[in-house]
């Protein structure tokens, strides 16, 4: 998950790190100060959820047992003396209760384990606060005449092109990147438009396209962003990445 790029992407990482977004350079220290509080919050929340889930499940098991025993005793008290309950029937009902109780206890254990794993994942993710990650996004920042981003190919491509656009949506530069193997491909921009003139520093957007054998193939845009925090969601742990919003751990392609 840390780096799905090809050798060209890995080799370019040190050079790319020299041109990280300004906020990544200046905001990393401040974001890292919040790491301990995020870790403590994740642990407290996970522990509380695990305890709550276990208590509720335990109460459910005890209530089921009480109801069954009351019904069984009532049934035995009101049985026909000339036609008493069959021992096999009582044994079968007891076995059913045991099965239900076992399932309830298993569910309680799984709920506690799930909460514990979520808290552990949050604690691990908190170590990424203040780091720059590459994740799905179409933003590219031009700084000091250089811009960097990336794209991911689901399969090899004969031709890969990137179009960089200004805030108004006008195409200012088209990059023909040739053929590439499947995986993460770095996108490097010299900050010039198609006419060769240097553009002003700032935020731009880009789109990607790729073909294989004359047919279009998937080329997903990737952007760099600073991790500002970690959030626990019902679907799992999320990273709060600057400009990219909530990003899942699984979608991170590179960590700088």
Taking the domains of the chain in order of start, what are their residue ranges? 7-30+129-255, 37-127
d(CA 49, CA 51): 6
Average pLDDT value for residue range 189-214: 94
**Predicted local distance difference test score (pLDDT) of residue 31:** 44
Closest listed residue to residue 245, CA positions, set 76, 47, 255, 231: 231
Query: Is 255:190 a contact under the CB 8 Å cutoff?
Result: no
Indicate the DSSP class of residue 130: T
Query: Is 128:251 a contact under the CB 8 Å cutoff?
Result: no
123 by DSSP, 3-state: which?
helix
**Predicted local distance difference test score (pLDDT) of residue 85:** 66
Query: Is 204:8 a contact under the CB 8 Å cutoff?
Result: no
Q: pLDDT (tens digit, 9 = 90+) per residue, 206-241? A: 999 999 998 999 999 999 999 999 888 877 788 999
46 by DSSP, 3-state: which?
helix
Q: In the structure, what pLDDT confidence band is assigned to residue 100 with cuts at 50, 70 and 90? A: low
The strand pair at 236-241 and 245-248 is best described as antiparallel
Dihedral of the alpha carbons of 87, 90, 94, 100, in degrees to the nearest 10: 140
d(CA 19, CA 143): 7
Residue 234: partners with Cβ closer than 8 Å, 6 or more residues away: none
237 by DSSP, 3-state: which?
strand
d(CA 115, CA 50): 5
**Predicted local distance difference test score (pLDDT) of residue 128:** 85
User: Is the pLDDT reported for residue 49 higher than 50?
Assistant: no
**Predicted local distance difference test score (pLDDT) of residue 236:** 79
d(CA 150, CA 180): 13
**Predicted local distance difference test score (pLDDT) of residue 43:** 43
Lowest mean pLDDT across 5-9, 57-61, 89-93, 203-207: 5-9
- Share the mean pLDDT of the chain: 76
251 by DSSP, 3-state: which?
helix
Q: pLDDT (tens digit, 9 = 90+) per residue, 130-183? A: 999 999 999 999 999 999 999 999 999 999 999 999 999 999 999 999 999 999
Identify the CATH class of 7-30+129-255.
mainly beta
d(CA 29, CA 208): 33
Q: Is 241 exposed, middle or buried (0-12, 13-18, 19+ CB in 10 A)?
A: buried
Q: What is this structure's pTM?
A: 0.56
Average pLDDT value for residue range 188-202: 95
Closest listed residue to residue 8, CA positions, set 126, 183, 135: 183
């Amino acid at each position: 998950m840390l780096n799905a790029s090809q050798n060209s992407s890995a080799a370019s990482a040190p050079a790319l790190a020299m041109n990280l977004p300004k906020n990544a350079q200046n905001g990393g220290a401040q974001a890292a100060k919040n790491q301990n509080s995020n870790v403590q919050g994740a642990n407290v929340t996970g522990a509380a959820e695990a305890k709550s889930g276990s208590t509720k499940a335990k109460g459910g098991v005890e209530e089921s047992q009480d109801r069954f025993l009351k019904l069984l005793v009532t049934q035995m008290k009101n049985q026909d003396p000339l036609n008493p309950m069959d021992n096999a029937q009582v044994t079968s009902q007891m076995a059913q209760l045991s099965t239900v109780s076992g399932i309830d206890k298993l569910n309680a254990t799984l709920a506690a384990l799930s909460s514990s794993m979520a808290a552990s994942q949050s604690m691990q993710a908190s170590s990424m606060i203040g780091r720059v990650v590459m994740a799905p996004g179409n933003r590219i920042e031009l700084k000091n005449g250089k811009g960097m981003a990336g794209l991911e190919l689901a399969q090899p491509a004969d031709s890969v092109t990137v179009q960089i656009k200004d805030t108004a949506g006008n195409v200012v530069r088209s990059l023909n990147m040739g053929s590439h193997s499947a995986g993460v491909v770095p996108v490097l921009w010299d900050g010039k438009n198609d006419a060769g003139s240097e553009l002003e520093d700032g935020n731009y957007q880009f789109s990607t396209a790729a073909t294989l054998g004359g047919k279009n193939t998937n080329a997903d845009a990737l952007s760099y962003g600073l991790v500002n925090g970690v959030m626990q969601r019902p679907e799992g742990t999320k990273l709060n990445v600057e400009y990219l919003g909530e990003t899942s751990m699984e979608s991170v392609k590179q960590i700088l």
